[in-house]
Amino acid sequence: MSVNNVNSLGFNVNGKLDEAVQQGSRGDCALIAYCEALNQSEAGQLIFQDSIQINKDANGEVSGYTVNFNGINESYNISLDELAAATDDNSGQTEWVTKTWNDFSEEEKDIYRAIYPDWSEEALATIEIQESSFIPAAGSSNRYSKGDDDMKLIELAVEKCLNQSGNQEVQNLRTSLFNQSNLDDALSAINTDVLNLMFVGNTENKDFSTVKNTMQYLMDSYSLGDNYTPSENFELKDKNGNTVTLDTNANYEILENSKDIGPNGTVTLRNTATGEETSYDFAEFYKNTVSKQYFEETIRNIDSLIENSDDSKAVIFSLGSSIAEKTQDTYLKDIYGNDQLLYSNHGYVVTYDSDNTVRLINPHDTSVELIFNKEDLYKLPTFEFQSFDLT
């Protein structure tokens, strides 16, 4: 049972995430986002609370903590000295830098142009972004999060669990996901499937992505050498700029040189009746064929997921996916007209805001909430929503 206790060293561990959290340098956004997603519902808060036990000595003084991962029936002790060392490792200061349009890479500029096609170059050139960076003090690595002590306690326990767990499923997931049996930096390697197993006992989730679902569909359902039949007549441009119509009455074979399909790759199709071979930029092929078939369905699923989220679910958003490569950090205007930086391959907590908007919480600083119009968010080139079953 968790009790509100401030120990002699000043740590306030109470089984709650009731203070803001700032992510450290080890890239454990998945862990912080998962725990903050739990914090969005009463059921999730109870799961988090039940994982933390405060230990006391004979005099009633706090002597340390035990973190219980009830999903796998394992517990890990964290001493006051370990928590103190993790806190001392985070000393330093935050510095802010202004980034202007001229500082963006061409890939970053192209993403902004795609999101706001009606903006002139003059309008785009007025964009300025404030970016922060944490400068660790001498001897500090900024390994762990700052702010809420309960979050730091969980980070320490997760490191121990991934390196020491005797649970076969954790070992299997660890090996398959990270291709190593021992993790020197478990915080940066952890993912939400492993976390849901540890805290809840399952790895069931729903995964909706504008790239992953559709591209994976193309790769898995139409394995190389199989015939591909469009669901309707699709018009698109080939690699030479010629307009081509893919006929719903024709069959096409995906050739072997398309094996490494990706956002910047090439798709080559052979018309099985005529033998004609035509190559397309994957982006062009994706946008005008697969995307049209499945994008609207994916968006409907995401809307339903967000709007019907309840105590039995935790929802996380990320820019990019496990299939997309070279995803860029992206700048997107929030509902107030401010330019906000969304980091690629970075997890954000999703909370329902309204039928037209989505609210995101950034593990870099959980006190800051970002609210976007859904229409703008769905224009991002690659994104993914994950829903985790908490029952």
Token look-up 């339903």 returns: 304
- Positive or negative torsion for Cα 46, 16, 32, 365: positive
Give which of 212, 211, 218, 192 is closest to 203, Cα–Cα.
192
DSSP 145: -
Neighbours of 263 (CB within 10 A): 17
**Token duo for residue 161:** 């669990």
Total-model pTM: 0.69
d(CA 364, CA 362): 5
Average pLDDT over the chain, rounded to whole? 77
Of 29, 37, 26, nearest in space to 364 by CA: 29
Measured distance CA(96)–CA(7) in Å, rounded? 34
Residues 256 and 275: their CA atoms lie apart, in Å, by 15
Give the orientation angle of helix 192-199 with respect to helix 168-178, to 10 degrees. Answer: 170
Tell me the C-alpha distance between 145 and 278, whole Å.
Answer: 51
- Which residue do the tokens 């050739």 mark? 255
Residue 53: what pLDDT? Answer: 94
| DSSP states of 175-210 | HHHHS-SS-SSHHHH--HHHHHHHHTS---EEEEET
Q: Residue 264: its pLDDT value, please?
A: 65
Nearest alpha-carbon partner for 250 in 267, 233, 264, 238: 233
Residue found under tokens 């072997």 = 256
Looking at residue 4, its pLDDT comes to: 46
Q: In the structure, how many helices (H) and strands (E) does the chain have?
A: 13, 23
Distance CA 161, CA 21 (A): 22
Tokens of 198: 């540890």
Tokens of 100: 């202007």
Name the DSSP letter for residue 290.
I
Dihedrals phi, psi of 67, to nearest 5 degrees? -105, 120
CA distance 263 to 364: 28
Encoded tokens for 172: 């299997």
Half-sphere exposure of 318 (CA within 13 A, CB side): 25
Tell me the C-alpha distance between 166 and 7, whole Å: 31
User: 134 near 94, Cβ under 8 Å?
Assistant: yes
Distances (CA, A) of 4 to 13, 45, 47, 78, 366: 7, 15, 17, 17, 21
Return per-residue pLDDT of the chain as tens, 391 residues.
Answer: 344 455 556 788 999 999 999 887 777 888 999 999 999 888 889 999 999 999 988 888 888 999 999 999 999 999 998 988 887 655 555 556 677 888 877 877 776 676 667 788 888 888 776 665 545 454 445 678 888 999 999 999 998 898 888 888 888 766 765 555 445 566 777 788 888 889 998 766 666 655 444 445 554 444 445 677 887 888 889 999 999 999 888 988 887 666 555 556 788 889 999 999 998 887 777 777 766 666 666 777 777 777 766 666 778 777 654 444 445 677 888 999 888 888 877 889 888 777 889 899 999 889 888 999 988 887 776 777 888 888 7
The structure tokens listed for 135 are: 């400068």
